[in-house]
Structure 1
Amino acid sequence: MTGRILRIELRRSAALGTALLILVTGAALLLSSTQFFAGRWMQLAVMARSLLMVLLPLALAGGAWMGRRDARHRVNELFASTVRPRWQRVAPTAGALAVSVVTAYLLVFLIAAGWVVPTSNYFPNATIIVVAVGVPALIAAGWLGMAAGRAVPRVITAPVLAVVGFVLVGLVPELAMAPDTGAEIAQFRPEPAAVLLVPAITGLDDFQTIATKVSLLQALWLGSLAATGLLLLGAVRRRAIAFAVLPAVLGLAVALPLLPIGGARGAAVVDPVAIELVCDNDGPQVCVTRAHAALLPDVVGPARQALGMMAAKLPNAPVRAVETQQVTYWARLDPDPAPARHSADTVVFDTPTIDRLGHADLSDDYFLPSLLEAAWQQECGEQSVRGDVYRARMVAAAWLTGRPPAPQPGWAPEEMALQESAYQALVSLPEAEQRRRMAAAREGVLACRDDELVAILPKGQP
């Protein structure tokens, strides 16, 4: 009998409409942003979690709309007069909503996976756990919404819950990340551990994952919250209502002390397999990280072209090109102030732009110049790059190509004139002197002495 009621609820109740709304909204948001996860399973999982900022309010509102159904049809007194306990009557409806919202959430993930499967060569096991946390989150939101709709059976309850849910899930964590008064832009106070009670997580880079401990604690908290929602939905007496709050209180008491501070940055850990190198050895070695293995065929050609230009003009030129394995500064709670320096035979390049299909987007012809500029860079710790150092890098890269620096989008004409004059001053020197100066500049860069690179600029140039 219960199964039959459940099937009827799935076909005829507002659960189906709520699921369709979640499916359409989630799919539209993900498919409009495929460049942020194409070819990367963990980034897709994180994007699915970030979608909860929108999907949880929808589940709350959908649950509230279903919760007011008995009052809307004026059958509360009729059902209260029956022998069956209330929880037996609400269980199929609650089950239908849970099945609907979870199915819609998983379908959104599977649809978006079509942009990952063709190019991804690495599937982190943590992907399943990260995505799975969204399941109890949506069930909890739906059941709490049903309980609220039953308690306050008004038309306005659903939209108000949607707004409140968006504020709690989307805006409160962002406010917790606000910088301290007077602090630099990049310096944020660590968010309290309570921020991780909200399951929506953003801000991880391609080499990170969410710690399994954090995901399990979040699932525990959200499961206890779902239990509270279901008990509130079936409660009739005040004592039952008070008892219904107990699972959420216990879940909070267990999870909160064990969650790390720092929000997403505190929950993130480096995935050691994602930063492993995958190399092409059919010529000068070119390597990318395993997380970006699909980019290797795209970058091999430009990377070897850059290595050939360096070998033609520089003594002891680099013989291999390797993608950086450093986790981005903003994604780390305690960044390493002194990252490891790379050897003189290696040029380290940043991850190229990834297009909507998971391949390297080299259409703007920016990648080769960036590789040549990388020959004049070294890991020297967290420090800002002076304007003259950046200008000298561009002039040095242009010297390798034998052509003046290309115009940069957004640069003022006088800035490009400085680049042009510096390049012309350099190439006007005898070739032997050019090579001597550039060899000295590269030795200085590798030893983190940028002043020797700046010395290639004309005297008096700002």
Structure 2
Amino acid sequence: MMGRILRIELRRSAAVGVALLSLVVGTAMLLSYTEGFAGRWMQLAVSGRSMLMLLWPLALAGGAWLGRRDNRSRVDELFASTARPRWQRVLPTAGALAVTVVTAYILMFLIGAAWVVPTAGYFPIAAIVATAVGALSLIAAAWLGMAAGRAMPRLVTAPALAVAAVALLALLPDYLSVSAMVDGRPGPAALLLTPVYVGGLDDLQTIVARVNLTQTLWLAPLAATGLLLLGAVGRRAIALAVLPAVLGAAVAVPLMPTGGYDAAGAVDPKAAELVCDNDGWQICVTRAHAGLLPDVVGPARQALTMMAAKLPGAPSRAVETRQLDFWVRSRPAPTPALADTLVFDAPPIGRTGRADLADAQFLPALLQSAWRQDCGDEPEHRDVYLARTVAAAWLTNQPPVAEDWWEAGDRNRVDVAYQTLVGLPQAEQQRRMAAARDAALACRTDTLRSMLPKEIP
């Protein structure tokens, strides 16, 4: 009997409409920036979690619209006079809404997977777990919305809930994160009560299991509270219905790591493993970027060949850096580069999950990497970047090409440095560039910066 009512609800209620709206909005937003997850399963899962900033308010508002259906149809008193308990009447409707919003979320994930499957070289189980937590949060939102729609059967309830949810999920976490950063404090652990993941996650990171577990310990009781409120009759039942959410928060918050979103990400050792092409100069990328290897091999071997022709002690292999992006605050200690290894940053990833080499900047960046070392979080002086441009131009035997970030006067300083360098005897050029590379590997930039004339005030 219950299954038959559930099928009727799926066919005739607004649950399907809510799910279709969520699917269209979520998919449209997800596919508007496929470069953010193409070729990477974990980034797809995190992108799906960020879409909850819109999908959660939609599920909440859709639940509120569905929750006021009995009042809108003026059958409240009729149903209240029947012998069946209220929870038996609301369970099929709640089940139908839960099934549809979860299905829409999974379909959004599967549609996004079309941009991941062709080039992905690593599938972390954590991506499935993160997606499952997001789906659970939508059930909680839908059932809380239904309970609110039943308690306040007004036309304005659904849009008001949607606006409040957007403010809660978007504005409040940002305010708390920025306030903590300004004060030099870690973000509050309670930030992770929200299912939306707005923190930056590097391609080599994953959401830690502790965060997924504690969010589940909070979201499952929250969903139970929404369902119990929906079926509650009387003040005592309503008070008892709130108890699971209170207990869930009491258990989950102390277990959540301090630091908010920054503490939710950790390096995934499997994603950071190297995948190499040994057909010639050895070229390696991380497993998370395995789909980029065919595009990286050609330019990387070209760079190594150019270095071998002019630079004494030139590197004989090229390896993608396994340091996290500069905006990730919880960074591991830098790994010293070896003299025989060229450490480079992966090129930008295009919409298809392959390397985006359209701007022809990857080869110059590879050449500049011969004089680069990751020496920690301190930003380097801009003169170091200008000097690397001169060093890369020396390898190509072509004058340096101006870049967008150059300021007034940089063009003259770079040209003077380049002409001074190439005007020296060949042996002296090689000696200076080898010394600059040795200094860079030792995390000293003084030798490199000395190539440039002093800046004219």
Q: TM-score, normalised by structure 2?
A: 0.97
What is aligned with 1:40?
40
Shift of 1:191: 1.2
Aligned-partner residue type, residue 196 of structure 1: L
Shift of 1:60: 0.3
Is 1:370 matched up with 2:403? no
What is aligned with 1:295?
292
Is 1:104 matched up with 2:99? no
Shift of 1:182: 6.2
Aligned-partner residue type, residue 131 of structure 2: V
% same residue: 65
Structure 2 residue corresponding to 1:360, chosen from 352, 355, 359: 355
What is aligned with 1:244?
241
Shift of 1:265: 1.5
What is aligned with 1:436?
431
What is aligned with 1:253?
250
What is aligned with 2:178?
178
What is aligned with 2:205?
208
CA displacement, residues 152-189 of structure 1 (integer Å, 9 cap, x when unaligned)? 10000000000011111222111111055867xxxx53
Structure 1 residue corresponding to 2:308, chosen from 297, 306, 311: 311
Q: The residue matched to 1:361 in structure 2 has which SS?
A: coil
**Could you tell me whether the CA contact under 8 Å between 2:133 and 2:216 is conserved in 1?**
yes
**Could you tell me whether the CA contact under 8 Å between 2:283 and 2:318 is conserved in 1?**
yes
Distance (Å, rounded) in 1 between the aligned partners of 2:92 and 2:366:
60
Structure 2 gaps of 5+ residues are none
What is aligned with 1:199?
195
Shift of 1:330: 2.8
Distance (Å, rounded) in 2 between the aligned partners of 1:390 and 1:42:
32
Q: The residue matched to 2:364 in structure 1 has which SS?
A: helix
Distance (Å, rounded) in 2 between the aligned partners of 1:68 and 1:456:
73
Distance (Å, rounded) in 1 between the aligned partners of 2:455 and 2:247:
69
CA displacement, residues 207-263 of structure 1 (integer Å, 9 cap, x when unaligned)? 111111210211121110000000000011111001101111111111111011112
Structure 1 gaps of 5+ residues are none
**Could you tell me whether the CA contact under 8 Å between 1:65 and 1:149 is conserved in 2?**
yes
Distance (Å, rounded) in 2 between the aligned partners of 1:179 and 1:362:
39
CA displacement, residues 98-156 of structure 1 (integer Å, 9 cap, x when unaligned)? 01101111000011100000110110011111110012200110010001001110000
Q: The residue matched to 2:409 in structure 1 has which SS?
A: helix
Shift of 1:426: 1.4
CA displacement, residues 59-115 of structure 1 (integer Å, 9 cap, x when unaligned)? 000000001111111111111111101111111111111011011110000111000
Shift of 1:287: 0.4
User: Pairwise mapping of residues 22-33 of structure 1 onto structure 2 (< 5 A)?
Assistant: 22-33=22-33
What is aligned with 1:154?
154
Distance (Å, rounded) in 1 between the aligned partners of 2:408 and 2:190:
50
Distance (Å, rounded) in 2 between the aligned partners of 1:53 and 1:374:
39
**Could you tell me whether the CA contact under 8 Å between 2:181 and 2:187 is conserved in 1?**
no
**Could you tell me whether the CA contact under 8 Å between 1:306 and 1:368 is conserved in 2?**
yes
Backbone CA RMSD of aligned residues: 1.5
**Could you tell me whether the CA contact under 8 Å between 1:204 and 1:264 is conserved in 2?**
no
Distance (Å, rounded) in 2 between the aligned partners of 1:459 and 1:198:
51
What is aligned with 2:323?
326
What is aligned with 2:10?
10
Deviation larger for 445-454 or 13-22: 445-454
Count of matched residue positions in the alignment of Structure 1 and Structure 2:
456
Distance (Å, rounded) in 2 between the aligned partners of 1:172 and 1:430:
62
Aligned-partner residue type, residue 192 of structure 2: L
Deviation larger for 381-390 or 257-266: 381-390
Distance (Å, rounded) in 2 between the aligned partners of 1:181 and 1:131:
28
Structure 2 residue corresponding to 1:408, chosen from 403, 406, 422: 403
Is 1:446 matched up with 2:403? no
Distance (Å, rounded) in 1 between the aligned partners of 2:14 and 2:116:
32
Aligned-partner residue type, residue 406 of structure 2: W
Aligned-partner residue type, residue 196 of structure 2: A
What is aligned with 1:190?
186
Q: The residue matched to 1:116 in structure 2 has which SS?
A: coil
Shift of 1:387: 2.2
C-alpha distance 111-56 of structure 1, shift in aligned 2 (>3 A): same
C-alpha distance 384-80 of structure 1, shift in aligned 2 (>3 A): same
Shift of 1:460: 6.6
C-alpha distance 148-180 of structure 1, shift in aligned 2 (>3 A): closer
Is 1:88 matched up with 2:125? no
Distance (Å, rounded) in 2 between the aligned partners of 1:275 and 1:297:
18
What is aligned with 2:217?
220
Distance (Å, rounded) in 1 between the aligned partners of 2:26 and 2:2:
30
Q: The residue matched to 1:241 in structure 2 has which SS?
A: helix
Distance (Å, rounded) in 2 between the aligned partners of 1:284 and 1:395:
25
**Could you tell me whether the CA contact under 8 Å between 1:177 and 1:189 is conserved in 2?**
no
Is 1:121 matched up with 2:84? no
Distance (Å, rounded) in 2 between the aligned partners of 1:348 and 1:302:
14
Shift of 1:412: 4.1
Distance (Å, rounded) in 2 between the aligned partners of 1:357 and 1:314:
36
**Could you tell me whether the CA contact under 8 Å between 2:257 and 2:263 is conserved in 1?**
yes
Shift of 1:461: 6.3
Shift of 1:282: 0.6
Q: The residue matched to 1:178 in structure 2 has which SS?
A: helix
**Could you tell me whether the CA contact under 8 Å between 2:222 and 2:244 is conserved in 1?**
yes
Aligned-partner residue type, residue 37 of structure 1: F
